[in-house]
Amino acid sequence: MKTLLPLVLALVSAPISSYGLLPVAPQPAQAAASTSGAADLAVVRERYVRAVLPVGNVAIAQVNALSQKYAETLTAEGSWPDIKYTDDARSVWVNADHLNRLLVMAKSARVLRNSGHPNEALEGKILLALKWWTDHDYTNPNWWWNQIGVPQLVGEIGSLLGPQLPDEQRAKIVEIMKRATWRTLIAGRSPWTGANLTWGVGIQIVRGCLENDPAPVAEGFERMFQEIKIMPQPAEGIEQDYSFHQHGMQLYSGGYGLDFANDVGRYISFSWGTSFQIPADRMTMFSAYLLEGEQWMIRGNVFDYSAVGREITRAGKVAAPRDQTGGPIYPANAAAYGLGNTMALLAAEPTPRQKELTAFANRLNGKAGAAEFTGNKMFWDSDFMVHRRAGYSTSVRMLSKRMVNSELINNEGRKSVHMSDGANFIYLTGDEYKDIFAAWDWTKIPGTTAIQGTLDTGEKSPIMMIGTTTFDGGVSDGTYGMAAMDLARGKLVAKKAWFFFDSEYVALGAGITVSDDKEHNVATAVNQSLLAGDVLTSEAKEPTAGTQAFDAAHPVWVYHDHVGYYFVPGTKVHVSAGPQTGAWSDIGTGSSTPVTTPVFNLWIDQGRAPQDGSYQYTVVPNISAGQLAKYAASADLDVLSNTKSIQAVYSRSLKLAEIAFREAGSLTTPLGEVKADHSCLLLVRQGTGGWKVTASNPESQPLTLHLTVKGKQTTIELPGGNFAGSSVSVDVR
């Protein structure tokens, strides 16, 4: 005989006896523990269901309308005629549409039942479609669908059905969910870690709730929270700088790392105040991962495309989606599973950094008056720098012997050759590159210097490769920063650096040389974004249409979408404003239908087979065209050096010199002569009675660095281990 649990589910309108049998006749002490465990299970289950349901009349109406459409097109057998159930695509699997549709219907049915108006006809169709799936038990050649994707979807559908789920179907769902064997090797090759592990144990937690068994739930929460830890390189997961790596030493904060943040964050909120609650030390670390890692890389609701890995090939990729009608599995775009909802759930609890989490949630969810988040951070474990100001954010992704440049898996990422070659995205709203990538020229990724007309770099494997250089990194004092890299890709080498201040930043390149290629030009891409309004230049009275080129003996400026670009005399500037065409299938697993997108494309022509070429330009975000013309006449920044050995820029207003010494040397600056006895990156800023000096070793090795600033000597101990490549500040007086 089934035992009734305490009715603590606010959203369940019937007794939860149908969740399964409880242990028989426990002793008094055991009975108390069992009652507590049952109550905690009910709380977790209720929160899990509530978190995925649409909120508000508009969202509910959207889900109900889509649910009705799916219900009307369902066949009498429980399938949909437009789904090709023989599909075996490894990434975008058509069969999964069956479960995604079923999930929408289950959400609609649960909302209706909670409101006191159950739709039994809809629930009957849901059970019919569920039986179709469990009877056929479809599998995919990609292990992920079989052990994560499908178990996650059927578990959520079963949870939404609650007491309306027949025991027979519950048993079949449980068996499917048991395929999430996170204790074993993935496809027999590697252990479950990071986001994969989180998905696996999350499935176990939901399964335990369906079985009404606290043991797998407790184990799942414990193992999930154990994964919140700092990993030593080259291990995958959360790095010391709070970036996230997956599939080796590859920056994936906006892909697997975003999934990790979303899932762990949601489950933390489900467990809060129960016996499953996250330990305090793990919560402290997870909060740091969110606030010192993830939030740095998001503008508006968009995750920096440098950090999303092969997911850049997926249309609609964002961090905080707005739509309510999708599910948790790619190609999902549902707000219930986005970072905005996750942060709101966490901010509702008395966490140690609740105010910061609330501010982060407000920004993600587009709340009016949300406080800006500003600063500069070098993610030294990932060769990645982010610079944020109230009106914009920008980033640079580099490549060294410590990192993998990108990946090509399941046909996603076929053109991502140059994604780590100094990619420099510029965001004001976050929408500047949304869904542009099918039409992109992938030899002109913003910020990169690359051979044009081909993605053949001369390397055996230009994708999924480890870099070949060591001088690649950045220095940051938390407010200002500089990034520098030695670019070496096949036949092309260059010295590249970026200098970040308040209202603008400078990009320098030197030593640009190509060997054994007389056929292709080389270009430094400045930006390639969606065309938004007129493109204005200092060289024409009318807006630019088509492609124009300038090689003037005077400075040239270009203006587009509230961003100005300023070039020194003699720069061969090319600007294009117009349609570009491509297909998502060219880069990933999307549609093969050509798409034409209006694109703003700006680059510097370095010529054919350059020898010791260079470039210099300044980017001024969040400015008007009129202000840009005035800025060009009274720039605050001076380029002190742009050679293969030293690249440096000085800000007069900040009294700040940013210097890349690629070898021991000295440089005369307005602050005095600066000497270094080893290659390094430096920020030298004049203060009252002396200078604040911030240094790093971009070769990511411990170093005793001896410096002299205007005759004053100092020594800086630069760390090794997990902090190798990080910055250290000292006062010199």
CATH number at residue 163: 1.50.10.100
pLDDT tens digits, one per residue of 242-279: 999 999 999 999 999 999 999 999 999 999 999 999 99
* The pLDDT value given to residue 406: 97
What is the phi/psi pair of residue 678, to 5°? -155, 155
The residue among 152, 179, 206 that closes a domain is 179
Percent of residues, the chain, with pLDDT higher than 70: 95
487 occurs within a structural domain: yes
610 occurs within a structural domain: yes
With 80 as the cut, is the pLDDT of residue 2 above it?
Answer: no
| Angstrom distances, CA of residue 337 to CA of 212, 260, 266, 323, 471 | 24, 11, 8, 10, 39
Ranked by mean pLDDT, the top range of 423-427, 544-548, 634-638 is 423-427
* The pLDDT value given to residue 288: 98
- Number of helical (H) and strand (E) elements in the chain, helices listed first: 14, 33
The residue among 599, 630, 661 that closes a domain is 630
Q: What is the DSSP letter of 274?
A: S
Q: Which residues pair with 683 in a beta bridge?
A: 658, 694
pLDDT tens digits, one per residue of 6-56: 322 233 333 222 223 233 333 344 344 445 778 999 999 999 999 999 989
**Residue 23 burial (CB < 10 Å; 0-12/13-18/19+)?**
exposed
45 occurs within a structural domain: no
Please report the beta strands in 219-297, taking only residues with DSSP state E, as ranges in sequence order.
237-238, 244-245
What is the phi/psi pair of residue 494, to 5°? -165, 155
Task: Give the HSE-up count for residue 219: Cα atoms under 13 Å, Cβ half-sphere.
Answer: 11
The answer for 316, left when phi > 0, alpha when psi is -120 to 50, beta otherwise, is left
Count of domains observed in the chain: 2
User: By mean pLDDT, which of 23-27, 116-120, 179-183, 203-207 is the weakest?
Assistant: 23-27
* pLDDT band at residue 629 under the 50/70/90 scheme: confident
307 occurs within a structural domain: no
Q: What is the DSSP letter of 678?
A: S
* The pLDDT value given to residue 35: 54
With 70 as the cut, is the pLDDT of residue 670 above it?
Answer: yes
The separation between CA 453 and the C-alpha centre of its own chain, rounded to angstroms, equals 29
With 80 as the cut, is the pLDDT of residue 581 above it?
Answer: yes
* Euclidean distance between CA atoms 112 and 162, whole angstroms: 13
Q: Is the peptide bond before 234 cis (omega within 30 degrees of 0)?
A: yes
What's 587's domain CATH number?
A: 2.70.98.10
Please report the beta strands in 643-678, taking only residues with DSSP state E, as ranges in sequence order.
646-651, 656-661, 665-669, 672-676
What is the phi/psi pair of residue 708, to 5°? -135, 130
Q: Note the pTM of the prediction, 2 decimals.
A: 0.92
The residue among 179, 204, 222 that closes a domain is 179
Domain of 93 in residue numbering reads as: 54-179
665 occurs within a structural domain: no
* The pLDDT value given to residue 537: 96
pLDDT tens digits, one per residue of 446-495: 999 999 999 999 899 999 999 999 999 999 999 999 999 999 999 999 99
151 occurs within a structural domain: yes
618 occurs within a structural domain: yes
Helix/strand/coil for 679: coil
361 occurs within a structural domain: no
